[in-house]
């Protein structure tokens, strides 16, 4: 890795903090992201109406649902799958008014899937506070077949749609919510460098 060199489009994330000027608070988290939500509620239980959408962790993704249910109380909605949680979030958006603040914690694939749904309601990602958790795994967009492969942990990934070997770059598209993936052996088919886990 070249020293002092960075790709400006690569997103930086923050630590979730309540925005005190708000009419309502909406928090969405998955698995280990539940810890960020617990930290939020340690800051305070906000005065505004709160809704928490939480996807239970499974496997390597820690589950905080029991603690969250105790801390958050009736305001929590629990889901077993990411798709169900995102769908419920999306379906609830017409009920929220301007002044609602949004917070999300999870992997990049999860957070940017949520951003894409929010954008349909003209909520830009700059309005959503994001805290990365659980893993550095990346969503990767194949520039050849336009498919997106979620949760890639290696420097070179196999495209989930076209099976090309993709070199994972730092260039990030906020529109697509994914990193750019380029065929690694286009010039010398079959010559694929060593595949290493670098986004654990």
Partner 1 sequence: MSTLNVRVAAIEQVTPLVKHFTLMREDGQHFPTFSGGSHVVVAMDINGRTHRNAYSLMGSPDDTEAYHISVRRQEHSRGGSVFMHDNVVEGSQLQITMPVNLFSLSKMGRKHILIAGGIGITPFMSQLHDIQRNGYNYELHYAFRSLEHGAFSDQLKARCGNHAHIYVDRLGQKLDLRELLGSQPLGTHVYVCGPSSMVTAVLETARELGWPENHIHSEQFTAPPMGDAFTVQLAKSKTEITVPNDITLLEALETAGVNPDSLCRGGACGRCELDVLELDGEIFHHDHYLSDAEKASNRKIMPCVSRARCTHMLLDI
Dihedral sign of CA atoms 16, 82, 176, 135 in order: positive
Residue of 19, 116, 144, 171 that binds partner 1 (CB under 8 A): 19
The CA-CA-CA angle for residues 169, 175, 179, to 5°, reads 15
**Among residue numbers 127 through 146, which ones bind partner 1 (CB under 8 A)?**
127
Contact range with partner 1 by CB under 8 A, out of 1-9, 29-37, 75-83, 120-128: 120-128
Residue of 61, 79, 75 lying closest to 25 (CA atoms): 75
Of 3 and 21, CB closest to partner 1: 21
Contact range with partner 1 by CB under 8 A, out of 78-86, 94-102, 144-152, 184-192: 94-102
Residue of 121, 173, 175, 192 that binds partner 1 (CB under 8 A): 121
Residue of 108, 114, 140 lying closest to 127 (CA atoms): 114
- Interface size with partner 1, residues (CB under 8 A): 19
Of 1 and 98, CB closest to partner 1: 98
Q: DSSP string covering 10-38, please?
A: S---------SS-SEEEEEEEGGGHHHHH
The residue assigned the tokens 């290493």 is: 196
The residue assigned the tokens 């899937």 is: 113
Residue of 9, 43, 124, 163 that binds partner 1 (CB under 8 A): 124
Closest separation between CB of residue 72 and partner 1, Å? 20
Residue of 2, 14, 74, 122 that binds partner 1 (CB under 8 A): 122
Does 14 participate in binding partner 1 (rule CB under 8 A)? no
Does 94 participate in binding partner 1 (rule CB under 8 A)? yes
Residue of 49, 73, 99, 193 that binds partner 1 (CB under 8 A): 99
Helix (H) or strand (E) holding 90, with range, is: helix 82-92
DSSP state of 84: H
Residue of 99, 128, 129, 123 lying closest to 23 (CA atoms): 99
Does 22 participate in binding partner 1 (rule CB under 8 A)? yes
| Token pair belonging to 57 | 């962790």
Which residue ranges make up the site for partner 1 (CB under 8 A)?
A: 19, 21-24, 93-94, 96-101, 121-124, 126-127
């Amino acid at each position: 890795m070249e020293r002092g060199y960075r790709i400006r489009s690569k997103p930086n994330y923050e630590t979730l903090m309540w925005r005190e000027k708000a009419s309502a608070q909406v928090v969405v988290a998955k698995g280990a992201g539940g810890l960020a939500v617990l930290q939020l509620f340690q800051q305070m239980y906000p005065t505004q109406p709160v809704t928490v959408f939480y996807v239970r962790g499974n496997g390597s993704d820690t589950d905080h649902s029991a603690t969250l249910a105790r801390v958050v109380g009736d305001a929590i909605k629990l889901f077993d799958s990411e798709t169900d949680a995102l769908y419920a979030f999306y379906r609830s958006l017409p009920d929220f008014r301007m002044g609602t603040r949004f917070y999300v914690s999870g992997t990049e694939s999860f957070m940017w899937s949520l951003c894409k749904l929010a954008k349909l309601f003209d909520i830009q990602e700059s309005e959503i506070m994001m805290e990365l958790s659980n893993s550095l795994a990346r969503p990767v967009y194949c520039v050849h077949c336009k498919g997106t492969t979620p949760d890639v942990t290696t420097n070179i990934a196999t495209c989930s749609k076209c099976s090309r070997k993709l070199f994972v770059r730092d260039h990030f598209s906020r529109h697509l919510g994914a990193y750019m993936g380029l065929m690694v052996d286009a010039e010398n088919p079959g010559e694929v460098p060593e595949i290493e886990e670098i986004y654990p």
